[in-house]
């Protein structure tokens, strides 16, 4: 049976993942779900952020559903985020973040786009060293990395029935590295039949607000994608609604764009929508298309009928909200 690892993690992670698992558990998916602990709570219990046993579970899995993890407040320099470790170890080179408003009244601008973010290199190499009173970071942009992320963006664009890809970079300053990304972008786009253009990242940050309709698919480097995807989430319904897929060649890790939100953790008020939508992306990845559509339809129906958590102006707690979605799932 296809195995799926369940990484609840820290903060609101166990709540939003728990609510999502209640829904997945009601569906006949032919999937085996296995818990895989990781993160700060796991460290407090076992002395490890990313236990070997968790890696073993992940290696035997086709996908993982991930909640959130908390990085320690005053991290020692040797701390490295287990999430980034997983992205590197499983070569999850593409982070696909759909930015479509599920509820028209929550959107700030008319943005309907998908961000395809390079997920393993750029500013995220973790290679920092002290040198003559400075800290030097090695930022890596490789031709192979650029090629495969643009190829992924092309695939995603076609699969979603879109027609345009915009390369977002900073090649006016980072002339060689981002220049390489821009050059490879136009090479790959040649002959795809898709429209291609490019934009500087600062201008793109403004244009997401002032000219949202000019974007369909954005392909970009790691840190730009991290920042722009939070912006795009805020513009289309808030972080509570934004899902993502970390994809490698054979494995996918699906997570809400939001973090562990320690301030509201354990209160039962977190909005599980982003995790439920991430589960929908996961079901599509696992070729459970009907199940993905059913779950998303039940979620949309719940929300449009006014059943919402507090961040969306409603009064439901995490579990009550999940129950309302569950009622519509069995109808």
The residues annotated with a catalytic role in the active site are: 124, 170, 202, 226, 230
By CB under 5 A, residue 226 contacts Mg ion = yes
State in angstroms the smallest separation of the CB of 97 from ligand IPM: 8
Per the listing, tokens 């319904």 go with 237
Q: Shortest approach of ligand IPM to residue 314 CB, angstroms?
A: 26
Q: Give the interface segment with ligand IPM, choosing from 78-86, 134-142, 173-181, 271-279 (CB under 6 A).
A: 78-86
51, two tokens? 């236990």
83 binds, among Mg ion, ligand IPM, none (CB under 5 to 8 A by kind): ligand IPM
- The Cα-based distances of 17 to 32, 256, 280, 318, 328 in angstroms read 16, 10, 13, 10, 19
8 A C-beta contact, residue 136 and residue 128: yes
CB 184 within 8 A of CB 143: yes
> CA-CA distance, 274 to 245, in Å (whole number)?
11
Position among 3, 62, 81, 211 found at the interface with ligand IPM (CB under 6 A): 81
Sequence-distant (≥ 6) Cβ neighbours of residue 310 within 8 angstroms: 269, 271, 316
Q: Does residue 279 touch ligand IPM according to CB under 6 A?
A: no
Q: Which is nearer to ligand IPM, 39 or 188 (CB)?
A: 39
Stretch that binds ligand IPM, among 79-87, 136-144, 163-171, 289-297 (CB under 6 A): 79-87
Q: Strand locations in the chain, DSSP E?
A: 2-9, 31-35, 63-68, 94-99, 113-118, 128-131, 134-137, 164-169, 195-200, 217-220, 243-247, 252-256
When the beta carbons of 146 and 257 are compared against ligand IPM, the nearer one is: 257
Applying CB under 5 A, the span of 61-69, 132-140, 220-228, 243-251 interacting with Mg ion comes to 220-228
Least distance between ligand IPM and beta carbon 151 (Å): 21
Instruction: Using alpha carbons, select from 223, 272, 276, 275 the residue that is nearest to residue 95.
Output: 223
**Which residue of 50, 226, 241, 281 would you call a contact of ligand IPM, by CB under 6 A?**
226
Q: Interface residues for ligand IPM in 84-113 (CB under 6 A)?
A: 84
Residues that bind ligand IPM (CB under 6 A): 81, 83-84, 226, 257, 259
């Amino acid at each position: 049976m296809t195995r799926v690892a369940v990484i609840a993690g820290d903060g609101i992670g166990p709540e939003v993942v728990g609510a999502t698992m209640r829904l997945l558990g009601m569906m006949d998916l032919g999937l085996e779900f296995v818990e895989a602990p990781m993160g700060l709570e796991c460290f407090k219990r076992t002395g490890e952020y990313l236990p070997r046993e968790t890696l073993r579970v992940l290696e035997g899995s086709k996908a993982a559903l991930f909640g959130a993890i908390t990085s320690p407040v005053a991290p020692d320099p040797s701390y490295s985020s287990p999430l980034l470790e997983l992205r590197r170890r499983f070569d999850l080179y593409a982070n696909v973040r759909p930015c479509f408003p599920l509820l028209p009244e929550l959107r700030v601008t008319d943005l309907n786009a998908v961000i395809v973010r390079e997920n393993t290199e750029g500013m995220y190499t973790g290679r920092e060293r002290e040198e003559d009173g400075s800290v030097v970071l090695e930022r890596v942009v490789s031709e192979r990395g650029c090629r495969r992320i643009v190829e992924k963006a092309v695939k995603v664009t076609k699969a979603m029935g879109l027609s345009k890809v915009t390369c977002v970079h900073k090649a006016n300053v980072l002339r060689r590295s981002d220049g390489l990304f821009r050059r490879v972008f136009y090479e790959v786009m040649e002959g795809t039949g898709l429209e291609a253009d490019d934009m500087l990242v600062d201008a793109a940050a403004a244009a997401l607000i002032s000219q949202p309709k000019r974007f369909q698919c954005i392909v970009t480097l790691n840190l730009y994608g991290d920042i722009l995807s939070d912006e795009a989430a805020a513009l289309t319904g808030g972080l509570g609604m934004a899902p993502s897929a970390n994809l490698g060649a054979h494995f996918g890790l699906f997570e809400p764009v939001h973090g562990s939100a320690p301030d509201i953790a354990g209160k039962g008020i977190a909005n599980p929508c982003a995790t439920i939508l991430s589960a929908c992306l996961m079901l599509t990845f696992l070729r459970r298309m009907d199940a993905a559509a059913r779950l998303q339809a039940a979620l949309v129906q719940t929300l449009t009928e006014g059943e919402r958590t507090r961040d969306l102006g409603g009064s439901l707690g995490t579990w009550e909200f999940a129950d309302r979605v569950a009622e519509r799932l069995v109808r």
